[in-house]
Amino acid sequence: MNITDAQLQAWIQAALFPLARIGGLLISAPVIGDKSSPARVRLMFALALTLIVAPLLPATPPLAAFTAVWWLRMAQETLLGIMLGFVLKLVFEAVVLGGELIGSSMGLGFARMADPVRGTDAPVIGQFLHLIAMLLFLTLDGHLRLIELLATSFQVAPDASTVIGARSFEAMANSGVTMFGAAVSLALPTMAALLLVNLAFGVMSRSAPTLNGLSVGFPLSLAAGLLLLRIDLPSLRHVFTHQLDQAWSFMAGLIGVVGAAP
């Protein structure tokens, strides 16, 4: 059996372009693409997904390997994968930001821990909420939904150049705005209640100047914050689920699914 150069280039292209999109997704996606996952595991996972997806793709005209057009197509596929994962990553960053706002209101703004997943130090409350969000994501089968959406992207947009443009970057900007709104909606009830606690302690300290603000106010604010966090914790599921639904909608809009509203 004779294999021509055109056939060989077509086979390589049929595997490399999907691998570029899948690899870009695993670079930026939460949970699956976190730094806590070994790079070798992520590479094997990307190769396994490529072997599953590549035979299902329609045949496309082969491009000359290592030309400017070929590298541009590789960059577009990788960029689309990164954008899909980044939209979902913003949902988890909103949870961390909300935890940081809550921690600052409790007086725990200085309490930070090294977070190997995010590659920086994170507030303890934010890291705690991030772990809960990861468990919720897996409980709600978010990892399966992500793989399903990735497979749909190859069916709807086998060529990333058809969907990357001003509309996709506008959807990314809108998802960033949504992240800040979600963080505030998550932290606002606890922050408002802690503000009332601090105001009450301020009135007490004015009426009894002998009270030591540091030795009495800080434990009181910390205890009230932990109690309020325990009360407000069930609402995390509702906020997180709503943000996940919006993230799926944004991601569907990025790949051009009809009916999605990014």
C-alpha of 141 from chain center: 15
Closest Cα to residue 106, out of 199, 218, 26, 14?
A: 218
Mind listing the pLDDT tens digit for each residue in 100-110? 888 877 777 66
Higher-pLDDT residue of 104, 131: 131
Mind listing the pLDDT tens digit for each residue in 47-92? 998 988 888 787 777 777 778 888 898 999 999 999 888 888 888 8
**174-189: string of b/e by CB count within 10 Å (b at 16+)?**
bbeebbeebbebbbee
